[in-house]
A and B are shown apart, each in its own frame.
Chain A
Amino acid sequence: MRNTREIIGEEKVKSKFGLEFLKPSHRKKEIERKFLDEWEKIFKETNSAFKVLKNRLKNRIVELKKERRRGKKIIGYFCNFTPEELIYASNSIPVRLCSGSFQATFIFDENLISDTCPLIKSSFGLILSNSLFYNFCDVIILPLVCDGKRKLSEILSEFSDVWILKIPRTKSEIDKYLSDLYVIKEKLENLTGNKINRKSLENSIKTFHKRTEVFREFLNLKKESPGLIGSLETNLIGFTSFFDDVEIWTNNLKKICENMKRNKKEEKENKIRILLTGSPIIFPNTKILKIIENYANVVVDNFCFTEHLYHSVEVDDWSMKGMMRALANKYIAPSICPCLLSEEDRIDRTLQLIEDFKVDGVIYYQLRNCQLFDLEYLKMRQVFLRKKIPIFKIVSDYSTQDTEQLRIRIETFIEMIKRGKK
């Protein structure tokens, strides 16, 4: 990454093909300070069992630096379509770069790109400003999902090595994705000098199986006592998986689960049970969760950014071919990404969750400027209303200036459900 960009004077960064950006270092401090503030704060608001994660952010940044110096490659990636198992099998470290930092969105804004998805703006801002763990990548894998990500891959490739991963538009075209996985596999081998063989991939997949197992146990606990594990906790768990080592993460979550089981108490009050779905809510963009949890329990969420933890690679045949196909299956078949033509899948899955978790109402979160989630709501709403399931859409970005407006909407929706139940 360093060799492809040149810093001109104090003010500007120039890419290899001459794309210039105001040097974002003046933002870096602000971004990191705010981010770490929120990181500290979340441990005050969540159950004490989650404190084991508190040092992981800072420690991990140090660890990543060290690993990099030792020659390990760090692979940044986006979205729920990049197989971590493959990266791990090449003895390199996957780090997910999706971000929820509001301060980081200013870097695009300053360059007159404002009507774009905040997730894209924010992630780019963190990468360009070298903030936190977003700056160690040797290469970035970018699945071509929505239009925003496609263009982001072009812009990012000016500053870093970017490998694109083509994503089919329908699930039946899974073979195209599979053949692209082989391309990524070869690129990984060339970059790291480590061959991904049957043994290493099998080990990797099995390591991630353990992660899934623990995560499902965690979800079960949440199902039994939603008052104990709320959406902030789930969000934190999801976010730490972005950067943390898979084995450390799994062990920590195991500890948390044991701790929670020991401290399990009776439910205090019967709060309204909410299912949250829609655009991903990525740390530190947790304002919506905080508002909802004031009035109701988010008993379950259905987001792309925790799906990779829930699903596992189901291998029947442990040959190289069999494992690669199983990998492709994990990432495409159960996907709820609106980039795929599979709205029914999201609706069906949500309906299933509503039944399983005895949900009273659904809140659909849409990131401002995301057409896909906006359009998907149309059908979902009508289907749900016919089934007499209350559903409500909120639209917001990463800024916190609309907190009060969101609060009144959410509070009213929950009160509406309460009154409807009587």
Chain B
Amino acid sequence: MAIVAGIDAGSTRTKVVIIKNGNIINKVCIPTKKDMELSAKLALKKCIKKLRIEKNEINYIVATGYGRKAIKFSNNTISEIIANVVGVKFLASSLKRKVRTIIDLGGQDSKVISLDENENIQNFVMNDKCSAGTGKFLENISRILGVKLEDLGKISIKSKNPIEINSTCTVFAESELISLLAQKKKTEDIICGIHFSIAKKLISLANQVGVKDVIVFDGGGAKNLGIKVALENLLKRKIYVPSEPEFVVALGAALIGEEYARNNR
């Protein structure tokens, strides 16, 4: 068996996962720079440096994500939705039940994928072309509130009275936030309100394809505990978040790479 790399060139982060014989041997996540191919190269370099292997020892590279076409050194590309499904299937194999719904919150997209009883992709929906209620929006919020992105979740679960926030539009929410801050509202209540508004948006997307158990929530946005809690609260169901949700798609790409390498595609 071979060493295969999956590169997820996302709009805000570039992720690389390297697998050998179906096991993850290393992974790296770096912010995406203007040049997507360069970012991918850097991430891959970083990833193999730790492994003490050379680039030419990697037998196959599959690129996915928004910038997949820009990565000319990859052997093949795959749509991130398919990669996401493959990644989730792999991680969820330890669960006794089949995954039926995947909610993915990325840097500038949100997607909901519905799977049939054999975990084959049945349907999917994506947000429209604007980035309302996505990772970009969260980054903006953390900047306005002066809270670190990774702390948003922790802070929000302290809230007892989440404020109702109406807008998930990256532009309009900013003015809404500023007026809330002017009213001296508590930061945790504001953040919690924001998480609920994002969760509501995700659920309205999910309802278009139907929500069925088991539900997996992944993508960089799934690292935010506050959104997971809000989703569970609104759906009244348990939601599974993989331990490192941002790597699911890159992992899926790597697994597809193994499949391709076997079939010599």
| Interface positions of A (Cβ within 8 A of B) | 401-402, 404-405, 408-409, 411-412, 415-416, 419-420
Contacts and interface: CB of A to CB of B under 8 A. Distances in A.
A416 B66 CA distance: 18
- The listed residue with most B CB atoms (<10 A of its CB), out of A412, A415, A416, A420, is A412
A411 B77 CA distance: 11
A402 B82 contact: no
Interface in B96-145: 109, 120-121, 124, 126, 129
B81 interface: yes
A401 B129 contact: yes
Q: Is the interface of A mostly helix, strand, loop or mixed?
A: helix
Contact of A409 (B66, B78, B121, B126): B126
27 contacts: A401-B129, A402-B129, A404-B66, A405-B109, A405-B126, A405-B129, A408-B66, A408-B79, A408-B80, A408-B81, A408-B126, A409-B126, A411-B79, A412-B79, A412-B81, A412-B82, A412-B121, A412-B124, A415-B78, A415-B79, A415-B82, A416-B82, A416-B121, A419-B82, A419-B120, A419-B121, A420-B120
Interface in B71-105: 78-82
A290 to B, nearest CB: 14
Given A401-B129, A419-B82, 4 more contacts: A408-B79, A415-B82, A419-B120, A420-B120
Nearest to A294: B69
- On chain B, which size bracket covers the interface? 10 to 19
Contacts of A408: 66, 79-81, 126
Contacts of A404: 66
Interface string B47-72: 00000000000000000001000000
A114 B196 CA distance: 32
Interface of B: 66, 78-82, 109, 120-121, 124, 126, 129
B64 to A, nearest CB: 10
Nearest to A410: B79
B128 to A, nearest CB: 8
A401 B80 CA distance: 20
Contacts of A412: 79, 81-82, 121, 124
B211 to A, nearest CB: 18
Contacts of A401: 129
A419 B66 CA distance: 21
Contacts of A402: 129
Nearest to B86: A419
> Considering the complex of A and B, which 4 residue pairs feature the smallest CB-CB distances, nearest first?
A412-B79, A412-B81, A411-B79, A402-B129
A401 B121 CA distance: 27
A420 B78 CA distance: 16
Nearest to B126: A409
Contacts of B66: 404, 408
B116 to A, nearest CB: 10
- The listed residue with most A CB atoms (<10 A of its CB), out of B78, B79, B121, B124, is B79
Contacts of A416: 82, 121
Nearest to A420: B120
B185 to A, nearest CB: 35
Contacts of B78: 415
Contacts of B129: 401-402, 405
Contacts of B82: 412, 415-416, 419
Contacts of B120: 419-420
B13 to A, nearest CB: 17
Nearest to A414: B79
- The listed residue with most A CB atoms (<10 A of its CB), out of B66, B120, B126, B129, is B129
Contacts of B79: 408, 411-412, 415
Nearest to B84: A412
